[in-house]
Copies of this chain bind each other. A is one copy, B any other.
Amino acid sequence: MDIGLPDRKDREAILKVHFVKKPLAKGVDLDSLAAKSAGSSGADLANIANESAIIAARNSHTEITQSDVTEAFERVAIGPERKSKVMTEGDKRVTAYHEAGHALVGHVLPDSDPVHKVTIIPRGGTGGVTWFIPPEDRVFVSLVQFKDMLARGLGGRIAEEIILGPDKVTTGAGSDLPSAAGLARDMVVNQGMGSKKLRNQVFHVDEGMMIERLVHEREYSDETAKAIDDEVESLITEAASRARDVIKANMHYLEVLKDKLLEKETVDAEEVKQLLSGAQMPKAAALY
């Protein structure tokens, strides 16, 4: 298991090094930045420090403030906001339902990380973002956590399906679906998390562990490839179905969050928790 990325302690130390010659306002909380930047590399952290200084300068701050640091972190993680981006009212509405779908499913499912922020302001190359951050530095991911990730990843498309109808779904899920496909394939091919026959088997052989000599021809048969495809398809279908069950059981909350997004464009963790506090997980979405 690759645990080579810096952990929370490492990240705090690295951030301190990079901010050492920068005029940091009093009270800026590098530790909480370290906490929420799990998964960042050393280079990412250096980048955040530099962007903070640039943003502070642009804002005519003499010292780098907490909000400069936060903006810098989000720029590095997702790309800059594009507030000027013209979006039609129709596209905005689609985006609001789509992001609300991700957030609602992620909020309701028991093994998903909590929602950190939802926004319908385009950032970098995306129309909107729903952001999940794990509460602590996690080393292992379990099968049920993967399944909740899959379901929340499909939450946007499924919200469109329910609101617009199945024939009106859009290209708005254009990057969610490849992510879900990649995750599902990873579970089956690399994590031995397929069902029955494929369980505990992986298809990415560690050649260096072979005794005596390497396998010359690594390629599995077309029938095995089909078995893998079937597992992936079944994971995606199950995830879509769980997302559908969650949203249908909580239509009121989908509307509430959508409305808030159209009103405020960005909704943070606290407010999401509050708005969706009555949402319930339907039995149908439980893993048996």
Residue of B nearest to A137 (CB): B86
Q: Indicate if the CB atoms of A141 and B167 lie closer than 8 Å.
A: no
Interface window among A48-56, A62-70, A192-200: A192-200
Q: Are B209's CB and A204's CB within 8 A?
A: no
**0/1 string, A187-227, CB within 8 A of B gives 1:** 00111110001011111111111111101111111111110
| A118: Cβ under 8 A from any B Cβ | no
The interface-forming segment of A25-33, A173-181, A264-272 is A173-181
CA distance A136 to B147 in the complex (A): 39
Decide: A197 and B237 in contact? CB cutoff 8 A.
yes
Task: Please tell me which stretch of A4-12, A14-22, A247-255, A274-282 contacts chain B, meaning at least 4 of its Cβ atoms lie within 8 angstroms of it.
Answer: A4-12
Q: A215–B204 contact, CB under 8 A?
A: yes
Nearest opposing residue in chain B for A13, CB measure: B84
How many copies of this chain does one complex carry?
A: 6
- Check if A91 sits within 8 Å of B139, measured CB to CB: yes
Q: Is the CB of A170 within 8 A of B186?
A: no
The distance in angstroms between the C-alpha atoms of A224 and B200, with both chains bound, is 22
Which of B127, B203, B211 is close to A141, meaning CB atoms less than 8 Å apart?
B211
Knowing A4-B125, A201-B232, A215-B189, say if A175 contacts B206 (CB, 8 Å): yes
| A136: chain B residues within 8 A (beta carbon) | 88
CB <8 Å contact, A170 and B141: yes
- Taking CB atoms, residues of chain B closer than 8 Å to A192 are 157, 173, 177
A149-169 interface code vs B (CB 8 A; 1 in, 0 out): 000001001000000101111
A87 → B minimal CB distance (Å): 6
Residue of B nearest to A228 (CB): B221
A138 touches B215 (CB 8 A): no
Task: Indicate if A60 sits at the interface (CB-CB under 8 A).
Answer: no
Q: Which residue of chain B has the shortest Cβ distance to A216 in the bound complex?
A: B204
Q: Give the CA-CA distance A140 to B168 in the complex, in Å.
A: 10
Interchain CB contact under 8 A, B190 and A205? no
Chain B residue with the shortest CB-CB distance to A197: B233
Are the C-beta atoms of A213 and B222 separated by less than 8 Å? Answer: no
**Cβ B204 vs Cβ A185 within 8 A:** no
| Nearest chain B CB to A61 CB, angstrom units | 28
Can you report 30 A-B residue pairs in the complex whose CB atoms are below 8 A from each other? A1-B126, A1-B172, A2-B212, A2-B213, A4-B125, A10-B84, A91-B138, A140-B171, A141-B171, A142-B167, A142-B171, A146-B211, A177-B191, A179-B209, A181-B201, A181-B204, A181-B205, A182-B207, A182-B210, A183-B211, A186-B210, A186-B215, A190-B212, A200-B237, A201-B232, A204-B215, A204-B216, A221-B226, A221-B228, A223-B226
